[in-house]
Amino acid sequence: MRLLFIGDVIGRSGRAAIAEYVPRLRQQFALDFVVANGENAAGGFGITEAIAREFLDAGVDCVTLGNHAFDQREALVFIERAPQVLRPVNYPAGTPGRGAWLYETAKGERVLVMNVMGRVFMDALDDPFASVERELTACPLGQACDAIVLDIHAEASSEKQAMAHFCDGRVSLAIGTHTHVPTADARILPHGTAFQSDAGMTGDYDSVIGMDKEEPIRRFTRKTPGSRFEPANGPATLCGLFVETESDGLARRVAPVRIGGILGQALPEV
């Protein structure tokens, strides 16, 4: 199976990159399943139902979220009727939506996607390790599903790496999101799980992690409140990770994806 995970989509420029590149990538690399983190898609903060629909129409199969999951209040309502949109699985009981879902590809293959949020330098949610363990026990790779994608939305690289090793051999892909900078450590772990500490963002890199530069610089230099952060709207680089799995659901190949914008371009060789 061929999977593509797309890092945090930021604002209008990130959404434009999804619309432009996802249909092309699906065709060029015969992708079976595409996941995109969309928690910054609506002006940098949260997601709306209309934007989620844009992603699905472009060829994204599942949209994961994170700490900005409910910044747009309408998400509290529409997420209940949108199994293609996942908030972190370790939100407290009773939070709208779901943190894991089993999808079926056009070929009939079953893909479990999980979204979990870290706790280091983040809001204190339920134990992410226990939450992931519960989902893996309920839907083990190779028995109840053919592939598993885990979006680890966390600040600390150490926590993301620990989670990936915790899941090694039990998920197809453990991918870090949230810090908006693609790391150079894409690899297959010893027991067969593909991993990258952070997929990077899909947005304008002539920015401060996707936001127009002036206000972040002003806050760092003046230390006073100012105007609202606004997404940078230059050409976006779509950043993500391509994974090809074996018949057992573990990774055979992994390759960074960077297309468009100002970063060095990278595409898998197939």
187-218 pLDDT tens trace: 999 999 999 999 999 999 999 999 999 999 99
pLDDT at 29: 97
Question: 31 — alpha (psi -120 to 50), left (phi > 0) or beta?
Answer: beta
21: which residues sit within 8 A by CB, 6+ positions away?
238, 259, 260
Residue 45 tokens, joined: 């903060």
SS (H, E, C) 180-216: CCCCCCCEECCCCCEEECCCCCEECCCCECCECCHHH
111-170 pLDDT tens trace: 999 999 999 999 989 999 999 999 999 999 999 999 999 999 999 999 999 999 999 999
Active site residues per annotation: 68
Other C-beta atoms closer than 10 Å to the C-beta of 96 total 14
DSSP per-residue codes, 117-133 = E--TTS---S-HHHHHH
10: which residues sit within 8 A by CB, 6+ positions away?
40, 41, 44, 180, 201, 202, 203, 204, 210, 211, 231, 232, 236
Which has the closest alpha carbon to 56: 88, 29, 78? Answer: 78
Instruction: Please report which helix (H) or strand (E) contains residue 34, including its range.
Output: strand 33-37
Residue 67 tokens, joined: 């700490």
pLDDT at 88: 98
**pLDDT at residue 226 is higher than 90:** no
Question: 264 — alpha (psi -120 to 50), left (phi > 0) or beta?
Answer: beta
What is the CATH number that goes with domain 2-206+233-259? 3.60.21.10
When the pLDDT of each residue in the chain is averaged and rounded to a whole number, the result is 97
Mean pLDDT of 95-105: 98
Q: CA-CA distances (angstroms) from residue 132 to 60, 116, 128, 163?
A: 23, 7, 6, 9
pLDDT at 22: 98
Which has the closest alpha carbon to 196: 180, 175, 213? Answer: 175
Distance CA 250, CA 171 (A): 7
